[in-house]
Amino acid sequence: MSKDSKKVFVIPCSGIGKAYGLVGRQVALQVVHDRLPEETETMCLAYLVTGDAEANARIKGAACITLDGCAKLCAAKNVAMAGGKVIEEVRVVDAFKTHRGENPGTATKLTPEGWNVVNELTDQVVAVIRNELKGAVS
Amino acid sequence: MAEKLALLPCNGLDKSAGAVSREVALSYAEKNGAELVCPVLLNTAPARYTKLAEEGEEFIVLDGCATRCASKLAAQNNLKIARRVVLTEEAKKAGVKLGETLRLDEASQNLCKKVLEMLEGEAKEEKQSSQAVGFEAPSKYQILTHGKFQFRVPEDGFYFNENDCWVQVAGTRARIGVTDYVQQSLSDIMFFDPPAVGAEVEQFGEVGSIESGKAVFEVVSPVSGKIVAVNTELDASPELINQNPYEKGWIAEIELADFAGDQDLLLDAAAYLPILKKKVEEFHV
């Protein structure tokens, strides 16, 4: 098994055109690029849905956290279909239920309220990954 | 390009060019009120976008890299592509060196701005050119579906002959071309042999030909008159007929001699559709 294959995949939905989708994408970028760059990586969902052999082989059996903007759950469904082990299924829309009335922003620009939720979800995802990695070591 | 456009970008989570394609699509849609298509949702729940395709919407497809996921998804769903942009190629043309990050750095933002300006410029030019000659893009299409094929027929403002050629009239001038059925039957059109400007043509006379790897198709004029212009863009890009036979793929313009008389032997969309249906069922492969 290569070093890379032990990384946890953090995979957001495309989120094209929706603020909640942008929240999910920003969470993934914060986790993968800023908080846990050695322990995580992301995967472009379009590779999985277009049947890219390499992407599908890499995801098979790997621990994945999916982030979906809407109830269609494209990320969770497609990762599961590709054989990824979804250890946490984050629904951005659920996170906003505890922030009732707050405006996340637009599909291109989040408001400070939107960024607050990004930061909260980032902490939540980081905690899940640390827990997962601790379990893998022990 | 049609007035109504939707944008299909790549998912943009692997390379910086992909992230730029996504940003271009979002910015274009926000500024110009165009529809956005989520590439993964298009694959997961294609019915969500069925209405767009049925209304004859055309798509600007934005691919980040040579893997061209957005183009693949567009092809899988039979979307009508008006324009295809590959961001890595645009970066090369513009001399922009993209970094590794998925976050938009200065170079990415510059490229995004350039591509956005290019697409908006093209749309503006298209609109001006269409207004200048008075030929309006079809506002609505009737769609005939046969297996995986969809044949579009403009609902209003176009007449047809039984040879699958159309005519659109503006004052004393007409624009002619071939129908969606012709371009789909021929497949990739490679050559365009134009009629001579200045030549007089009878109704049902030959006005040039188009050729693919499959066959040569002689364009049969739906009207009589004098050829006053040909679509010179087809010399270099005959594939425009495949991309949109009713707009950018027009063949020639004719100063009308007797449209009132010609009209007796022409069909409107409602009369042409049953003929098309029969042909599709009997001949189309």
Residue B92 has pLDDT above 60, yes or no: yes
Q: How many CA atoms lie within 13 A of A60 on its CB side?
A: 8
Strand partners, B9: B62
Residue A86 has pLDDT above 50, yes or no: yes
Residues B32, B86 contacting (CB under 8 angstroms): no
Q: What is the pLDDT of residue B51?
A: 80
Residue B164 has pLDDT above 90, yes or no: yes
- Provide ipTM, 2 decimals: 0.85
Who wins on pLDDT, A129 or B30? Answer: A129
A28, A52, A74: residue with CB nearest B41: A74
> In this predicted model, what pLDDT tens digit does every residue of B143-161 receive, in sequence order?
898 887 889 999 999 999 9
Q: What is the pLDDT of residue B63?
A: 95
Contact list, B41 vs chain A (CB under 8 Å) = 13-14, 16, 72, 74
Binned at pLDDT 50, 70 and 90, residue A137 comes out as low
In a mutational test of the B interface, the residue from A22, A26, A44, A77 whose CB has the highest number of chain B CBs within 10 Å is A44
* DSSP 3-state of B204: coil
DSSP characters for B141-176? EEEEEETTEEEEEESSSEEE-TTSEEEEEETTEEEE
B96 close to A (CB below 8 A)? no
Name the strand (E) or helix (H) holding B270: helix B269-283
User: In chain B, which residue's Cα lies nearest the Cα of A26?
Assistant: B103
Q: What is the mean pLDDT of residues B51-57?
A: 77
Residue A111 has pLDDT above 70, yes or no: yes
Who wins on pLDDT, A78 or B127? Answer: A78
Q: In angstroms, what CA-CA distances link A125 with A97, B181, B190?
A: 18, 52, 53
| Stretch among A18-32, A108-122, B45-59, B86-100 having the lowest mean pLDDT | B45-59
Mean pLDDT (chain A) is 91
Alpha-carbon span B238 to B210, nearest angstrom: 8
Residue B124 has pLDDT above 80, yes or no: no
Distance in Å, alpha carbon of B151 to nearest chain A alpha carbon: 26
Name the strand (E) or helix (H) holding B23: helix B16-32
Strand partners, A41: A9
Residue A89 has pLDDT above 50, yes or no: yes
* DSSP 3-state of B17: helix
> In this predicted model, what pLDDT tens digit does every residue of B238-278 receive, in sequence order?
999 999 999 999 999 999 999 999 999 999 999 999 999 99
Q: What is the pLDDT of residue B100?
A: 83
Alpha-carbon span A10 to A86, nearest angstrom: 10
Q: Label residues B40-79 b or e (16+ Cβ within 10 Å = b).
A: bbbbbeeeebeebbeebbbbbbbbbbebbbbbbbbeebeb
Query: Residues with Cβ < 8 Å from A126, sequence gap 6 or more?
Result: A31, A35, A36
Q: What is the pLDDT of residue B117?
A: 94
B23, B29, B40: residue with CB nearest A14: B40
Distance in Å, alpha carbon of A107 to nearest chain B alpha carbon: 7
Q: How many CA atoms lie within 13 A of B159 on its CB side?
A: 18
User: In chain B, which residue's Cα lies nearest the Cα of A10?
Assistant: B13
Q: What is the mean pLDDT of residues B32-41?
A: 89
Q: What is the pLDDT of residue B24?
A: 95
Distance in Å, alpha carbon of B117 to nearest chain A alpha carbon: 18
Q: What is the pLDDT of residue B47?
A: 87
Most confident region among A106-110, B41-45, B54-58, B150-154 by mean pLDDT = B150-154
In a mutational test of the B interface, the residue from A10, A16, A106 whose CB has the highest number of chain B CBs within 10 Å is A16
Q: What is the mean pLDDT of residues A18-44?
A: 95
A79 close to B (CB below 8 A)? no
| Stretch among A31-45, B175-189, B228-242, B254-268 having the lowest mean pLDDT | B228-242
Distance in Å, alpha carbon of A108 to nearest chain B alpha carbon: 7
Query: Residues with Cβ < 8 Å from B83, sequence gap 6 or more?
Result: B1, B60, B61, B119, B122
Q: How many residues does chain A have?
A: 138
pTM value? 0.63
- In this structure, the number of other CB atoms found within 10 A of the CB of residue B112 comes to 24
User: In chain B, which residue's Cα lies nearest the Cα of A71?
Assistant: B41
DSSP characters for B94-109? HT----S-SS--HHHH
Strand partners, A10: A65
Q: What is the mean pLDDT of residues B59-66?
A: 92
Nearest Cα neighbor of B110 from B92, B94, B123 is B94
